[in-house]
Structure 1
Amino acid sequence: MNPRAADAPAPKGRSRRNFAGARPVMDDVARLAGVSKQTVSRVLNDNPAVRPETREAVQAAMRSLGYRPSRSARSLASGRTRMLGVISFDAARYGPASTLTAINTAAQKAGYLLSSMALDDTADHATVAEAVDRLSAEGADGVIAIAPQHRVGQALADTHLDTPLVVLENEIRGGTPLASADSRNGARKAVEHLLCLGHPTVWHIAGPTGWTSADERLISWRDTLRAAGAGVPELLIGDWSADSGYELGRRLARRPDVTAVFASNDQMALGLLHALHEAGRRVPEDVSVVGYDDIPEAAHLLPPLTTVRTDFAAIGRRSLRLLLDRIDGRTEERVEPLIPVEVIVRQSCGRPPRG
């Protein structure tokens, strides 16, 4: 194609409209700049075939008219809707909610809007497939799935999707990029912190079975104890809520041999602290406690909670970057490192009691 053809001027002799009180449109910009509507579209799409002097004339017309391209205009120019879909599960929990907020912030900075669908924890294959189809039908340029459960990852793997897809907190077959934090390393650091304080073993309140992060932390808790030659206590399984941490904490509070507990999230650790206080077990003098996630309230508990910090903002930013790469056709295979985590040491841990 001849580059000059891209800059072909519009037919002369048309009268200019009075813009007072009316929002200027692409036709107005083309008329004032003396170019075709297609050329304005190419300037909006940053087409390299547009000559610099023509680009400047169009941009000057846009400034003169106060023209701001609408989303539909940009979509026509680029062939994209500038809309991304997000499917989330258990969106009220701190982790998914924080990740969704981070994705939204990163998407806005990149010039995209989000269409979000929150599904129930019990969503089956058909419900997941319907959500994916709906976002695709809405014209989403790509989809991010916050998929914390193994069965959700399987449902996504079984769903045919032509739209680019990025999955968080799960691994599915087919080369789908994922953005996840290093849960195994986080759990290992938590357990080693307690063992280094001199505790003979560490009890664990796990998250619900079938959740990727809960299973990863459970496996790492068990492996770390075995590697240290420590006994592996009875496993206790909660449901992420403070209520479940409280109920399981009441059982632990009755056992004098319990001196250290690692909870798979901060909410369950909060319930555990309540149960220990109620039973007269002091933290950290009698029992040390470590949580996971570093929720904003963790620093204000009594005592302030030692916990593993997850960088949910980094997860959101990476997921958006991976998705935009796929939308732009950059699909080369590469291994994305897990997002690192760190132990935030506060006042809920100490050496085990004597005797």
Structure 2
Amino acid sequence: MSEKYGEVERLWADLQSNCTDELFQQPRDVEITSQDVLSRIEKVILEIITDLSKGQAPLLVIQNRSSWANIRFDDAVGLHMGSGSTVSTIRSDSASSVNRFALTLKVLSEVYKLVQSNTYATKRDIYYNDTQLFGSQRTVDSIIDDISCMLKVPRRSLHVLATSKGLLSGDLSYLEEDGTRVNCRSESNAISVSSNVCGIRNIVSSAKFVLIVEKDATFQRLLDDGFCSRLGPCIMITGKGFPDVNSRLMVRKLWDTMHIPIFALVDADPHGIEIMCIYKYGSVSMSFEAHNLTVPSVMWLGLLPSDIERLKVPKEALIPFKKKDESKLSSLRKRPYIACQPAWEREMVILHERRQKAEIQSLTSIAPNFLTEVYLPNKLHYGGWI
């Protein structure tokens, strides 16, 4: 049996080496219909049945979503899955993967029913259908992403939605897929990012720019200070740290619809820089859907490491580097997109040399309203954006 698996993996590698990237990444203008999804699921099941009829143990082969060997970089797209040869094999006759094999088929059957009936479910719905079987929500989440990657379809085409954690505010209104009108113009309350961003239509806005805010606390402070109306009109969005897919989809939706400048306001530390990079260039684990998630036009507004010295941020407001910060910074500097961002590299050199980081909130040590009344207005005026 091991010879069979070896041959399958060799054939898979040969297929990848002879195929163009279009097989592994659907362009944005190619519509994936429900029938396409159903047909691809049926093909997977047919292959399993064929193996069983031959007395062979079936298996599932999925491109490895955690391997940089499968990643290509294009400054117009970001990190996208290419024709790398690194794959994960989920075997039905292996003690280490038989459970994963069974759970993947279970989720595939749920997806098939959802697409066939044109209904939707959340990832939590699927998990709570059989919590003992799945064991954890994380297992369901990972399997859904594996299926999306295996079928080469955007996750939304599986009719499985994720609960959003992001927030929106500013000069923006739109219609949800069910016809509900959403107004984000309240100066005191933010709106949760839709769990079905792709169903949003009739976007109305006169915003001059979009501001991505790393942290919820900073987002709320800007909201309380009336930032969107004082320095706008504009739109603010936060993914509350590491962004969920819906927050990234929303930023992409705004870019596709409005084509206005998009800025990132993140901490001057390796973690903040990585979060900005995810919005701009994407992540390895979701690289198979890069065309729908990345916005390469995102600009780094602040907080810049060079701002720490320029603004004379008090030393007591700075945080010494830890080993994980050094490791993350070293990893970031090796990323393929840094080569086309020399200004970013200079900022990271400053971080490396100072071995100190600063949160956005450190600006309050200069003055309580420094961020809203001085820092952001000057940054935006200097760049000619307002």
TM-score normalised to structure 1 length = 0.30
* Higher helix fraction (1 or 2): 2
TM-score normalised to structure 2 length = 0.28
